[in-house]
């Protein structure tokens, strides 16, 4: 292979680096099979111990490291003392101009159009998950960022609890959603206050780029516009702050049992094997990953780091990551 041919070979993307106690715990709760390695500081032994016990049973790598090494592994000083290396997760490409019929029902669906800052994406996802949203739609705008290390870190685990989808053409998707959703564009001025929006359908709240706002084709595809009333001393809020205020306001007056009608044959759930609803930690169990020999290890609920997060791995010295941090 010549140098030119070698340069043309696509670069294999790096795995995601999930940093922080809450994001790492959410990763283990929702998709533990995607975890490749785990690194942590001595001060995070208590939080890392149950997770290391799970990795030991499934024959995956974990290690206690010094602060400078964790910063190098995580790619940031803002790692929170723990970092999981996980398989890449991208937003789910929607095949057509309709939402999946098995998307879990929720009073509000958040839609982002042209938001390029991954920290804003993560902050909005954190808010959406906090208020019980189940999905997040990203537009096809080239400025719209996808899932990334920074977005996962900023979301504080929120992205793990949302089904993240990317539209092929957002205006067409919004037009097709009108039967089931009231599509609402968040604008700096000219919209109605949140409490004035008509009810009866779940809401699809569209948020746009901070500098240029929502593109005109997307605005035209929305049935209503909403504006947060303010003092007038500043024009608008940061998009992540606006999302938090709007979601709180909309859910405060949303029907308690808002359900999106489902097409015939549709059923609640979530594509990809993830639970449609977020059960409590005591209800969750980790799915064991395949061993190197291709066999799945026997399930041991008594040592499930999620079902029993308070379990002390020191009771099993052979698997204690704090006593033997280099053990794999």
Q: Which domains does the chain have, with CATH numbers?
A: 13-89+283-319 (3.30.1330.30), 101-252 (3.40.1280.10)
Residue with tokens 């006593």: 323
* Tokens coding 27: 């990763």
What's the pLDDT at 315? 39
Provide DSSP, 247-287: HHHHHHSS-TT------TT--S--TTS--SS---GGG--PP
Widest distance between CA atoms in the chain: 65
State in Å, rounded, how far the first CA of the chain is from the last one: 37
Q: Tell me the per-residue pLDDT of 44-65, one tens digit each, with 9 for 90 and over.
A: 999 999 999 999 999 999 999 9
**3-state secondary structure (DSSP) of residue 84:** strand
Q: What is the pTM of this model?
A: 0.75
Regarding predicted confidence, which is higher, 188 or 312? 188
Q: Tell me the per-residue pLDDT of 134-174, one tens digit each, with 9 for 90 and over.
A: 999 999 999 999 999 999 999 999 999 999 999 999 999 99
Q: Residue 92 pairs with which residues in a beta bridge? A: 165
Sign, CA dihedral 143-144-148-150, equals positive
């Amino acid at each position: 292979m010549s140098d030119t041919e070698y340069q043309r070979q696509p670069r294999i993307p790096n795995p995601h680096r999930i940093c922080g106690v809450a994001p790492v715990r959410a990763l283990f709760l929702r998709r533990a099979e995607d975890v490749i390695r785990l690194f942590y500081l001595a001060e995070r032994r208590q939080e890392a111990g149950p997770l290391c016990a799970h990795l030991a049973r499934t024959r995956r790598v974990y290690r206690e490291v010094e602060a400078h090494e964790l910063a190098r592994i995580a790619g940031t000083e803002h790692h929170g003392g723990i970092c999981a290396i996980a398989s890449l997760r991208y937003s789910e490409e929607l095949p057509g101009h309709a939402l999946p019929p098995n998307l879990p029902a929720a009073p509000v669906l958040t839609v982002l159009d042209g938001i390029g800052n991954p920290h804003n994406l993560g902050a909005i996802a954190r808010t959406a998950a906090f208020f019980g949203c189940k999905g997040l739609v990203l537009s096809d705008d080239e400025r719209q960022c996808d899932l990334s290390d920074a977005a996962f870190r900023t979301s504080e685990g929120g992205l793990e609890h949302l089904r993240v989808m990317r539209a092929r053409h957002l205006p067409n998707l919004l037009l097709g959603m009108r039967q089931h959703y009231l599509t609402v564009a968040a604008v700096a001025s000219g919209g109605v206050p949140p409490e004035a929006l008509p009810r009866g359908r779940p809401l699809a709240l569209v948020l746009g780029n901070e500098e240029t706002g929502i593109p005109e084709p997307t605005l035209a595809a929305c049935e209503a516009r909403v504006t947060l009333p303010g003092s007038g001393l500043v024009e608008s809020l940061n998009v992540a702050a606006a999302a938090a205020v709007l979601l709180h306001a909309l859910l405060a007056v949303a029907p308690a049992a808002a359900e999106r009608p489902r097409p015939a044959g549709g059923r609640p759930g979530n594509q990809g094997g993830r639970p449609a609803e977020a059960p409590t930690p005591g209800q969750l169990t980790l799915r064991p990953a395949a061993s190197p020999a291709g066999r799945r290890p026997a399930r041991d609920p008594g040592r499930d780091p999620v079902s029993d997060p308070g379990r002390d791995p020191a009771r099993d010295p052979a698997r204690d990551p704090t006593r033997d941090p280099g053990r794999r």
